[in-house]
Every structure is written in structure tokens, then in C-alpha cells.
Amino acid sequence: MGFTGSTEVGKKIGAKTGEYIQSACLELGGKNPMVVMPDANIDLALDGALFAGFGTAGQRCTSLGTLWLHESIYESFLAKFTALVENAAVGDPFADVLFGPMISEKYLANHLGHLEMIQPHHKVSGSTSTGRISASNPRKGFVGDPDKGVFAHPVIVSGITKADALYSTETFGPLVTVGKFSTLDEAIELGNGHGYGLSCAIYTTDPQNVWRFREGISAGMVSINNSTSGAEAHLPFGGNGLSGNGSRQSGIWVLDQFTRWQSMNWDWSNKLQKAQMDVIEIHHDPSFDLKS
């Protein structure tokens, strides 16, 4: 059995399959961190954050959850990122846009509920408003007719802290939270602290940062100088912690999830083999010399 969906439902499916001594392939939610170091290619990181955060209106399990920026580049990067989001084309999915509609009214309602988690110490940016895009609540430069779909304003919530509800909540919509860090170890701690472990990314030009990040982060998928949604089809796809039970999809690894191993031995010795404990005793020959 395989399930892709929320952690809450995944727990119930895992419990039920456990009653039958089976292991479900669970690919669950995520709060995927993207870490940007001061030595990063900033333009590349901006492209990655824009695509991962707002592509498909953030409705992917691997969408960017929180953008963690080193304190030395926090203000400048946030300003550039905000400008990109504010000027991005949103609307008719048949046109050249960053993202189109929400999946349904239900998903919009879920997104609106997450907007209620915004606190006074947060700064909100990204569009001319928040919530549903409509004639009475327009977005500047909207492409098409907002009444022909369920469209939502892109939202950037900066000033996020570990104590905030948005820090540990998978939003699954056009909402990206942004926070800052001082050291790579702090960024790793922030990336792990909510318990999810699906996808993550780091932008850096220093290999030492790469290996330290990979060693410390708990996510099942790690991207280097690529977005959190930049999964490769030939690599194992799946998460750890609240994001999954260690099962993997994609590549050859998915075969283990939906097949069962069966071992067989065929003995031709014509004598009882005692649990594979019969051995041949080899005596050491100190006079042996391996000639070239």
C-alpha cells in the first residue's frame, strides 16, 4: 500500500496496516527549509526560492516552507525576493504565469486559515493584498479573469521565529515564511526543529558548508544549489520523521516498497548442512610467499 498526503492521515494508515503486519509506503507532508549562505550565487538562489515557494501556488509536498537567510544578506535578499514576487505574473494557467489557481475552494479555505496565524511581529509582503484574488480584492498585473478560478495572492511572511505556529505548519499554498540565522549550525537546527524531514536545499559555493549541512539535516532529500522541489527521478524520493516512515519512491528503491523478498538455497552437497555452519578449516602456512 502506498499513500501520498498529510501526516495526520498517514499516521492512521500506518497504524491500520500495522495491524496486518504490513508496512505502508508513506510519502507525507513537509515544511521544507531553504538555506542561503552569504557566499551563495544570489541570483540563482532567488530563482530557486521563487519557483519552489510559489510554483503551482505552493501546492506541492516539496514546496519551499521557510526561507532561511544568513543575517548578513537578510535585508538585501528579502528586498529582491519581495520585488520578484510582487512583479510575478499570476493568473490564467494557460498563459505564461508563475502560478495559476488553487486546487479547489477547500484548499483556498485552508490557505486563508494559515493567514490567521500571522502575528504582529511579522511583516507581510508579496502582493497588493492577501487572501482570494477577486475584482474587489485585485492583484496588480493579474493575468485573466479572477472569477474563472480559485486564485490567491502570493504571501511572504518575514520575521519568522521558532516559536511561531507558521514555523511548524505545512501551509500547502502560496505562502512562504522567511527567517534569519547567524551560523550554519543554527540554520540546521531551525531546519530540523519542526520534525518534518522531506526536502531541503542549501545555496552555497563552499563544499564544507555542503557536507556539514548534509550531515546535520534530517530531510530525506537534499538539494545543493537547487530548489526544494528539484527532485531527480532516478533518486529515492521520500522523507523522514513527520514526512514519512523511511520508505522511498522513484528509481529502483520503489521496487522494495511494492514487492517482497524471497530467498532460496539449493544444496548439492548430499549431506546435512547445519544452518550454514559447516566450514573448511584452512591452516596457516608461514612458508608461503606470494611471488610477483
220-268: per-residue pLDDT in tens? 999 999 999 976 778 999 999 999 999 998 888 889 889 999 999 888 8
Confidence of residue 278 (pLDDT cuts 50, 70, 90): low
Mean pLDDT of 153-167: 98
Task: Decide if pLDDT at 289 tops 90.
Answer: no
The span from the CA of 217 to the CA of 230, in Å, is: 17
Residues with a catalytic annotation lie at 27, 61
The span from the CA of 124 to the CA of 152, in Å, is: 15
Whole-number pLDDT of residue 234: 85
Confidence of residue 105 (pLDDT cuts 50, 70, 90): very high
Whole-number pLDDT of residue 274: 74
Mean pLDDT of 65-91: 99
| Number of independent structural domains in the chain | 1
Q: Is residue 275 part of a domain?
A: no
Task: Decide if pLDDT at 292 tops 90.
Answer: no
CB proximity list for 30: less than 8 A, separation 6 or greater:
61, 62, 63, 65, 170, 196, 197, 198, 199, 219, 239, 243
pTM over 0.85: yes
The span from the CA of 191 to the CA of 210, in Å, is: 14
Q: Is residue 148 part of a domain?
A: yes
Range in 132-141, 187-196, 277-286 the model is least confident about: 277-286
Q: Is residue 35 part of a domain?
A: yes
Task: Decide if pLDDT at 281 tops 70.
Answer: yes
Q: Is residue 17 part of a domain?
A: no
Q: Which three cell numbers stand for residue 280?
A: 573448511
Task: Decide if pLDDT at 283 tops 90.
Answer: no
Q: Is residue 288 part of a domain?
A: no
CB 91 within 8 A of CB 143: yes
CB proximity list for 33: less than 8 A, separation 6 or greater:
65, 66, 67, 68, 187, 190, 191, 200, 201, 217, 219, 228
What letters, b where the CB count within 10 A reaches 16 and e where it falls short, cover 24-36? bbbbbbbbbbbbb
Q: Is residue 266 part of a domain?
A: no
Residue 237: C-alpha distances to residues 13, 131, 223, 275 (Å): 19, 32, 12, 38
- Tell which wins on pLDDT, 212 or 289: 212
DSSP 100-169: ---S-HHHHHHHHHHHTT--TT-EEESSSSSSB--SSS--TT-BS-GGGS--B--EEEES--TTSGGGG-
Task: Decide if pLDDT at 75 tops 70.
Answer: yes
The span from the CA of 264 to the CA of 163, in Å, is: 54
Instruction: Report the CATH number at residue 224.
Output: 3.40.309.10
Range in 101-105, 239-243, 251-255, 270-274 the model is least confident about: 270-274
Q: Is residue 106 part of a domain?
A: yes
Q: Is residue 290 part of a domain?
A: no
The span from the CA of 97 to the CA of 266, in Å, is: 62
Confidence of residue 19 (pLDDT cuts 50, 70, 90): very high
Domain that holds residue 204: 31-229
Whole-number pLDDT of residue 276: 64
Whole-number pLDDT of residue 160: 98
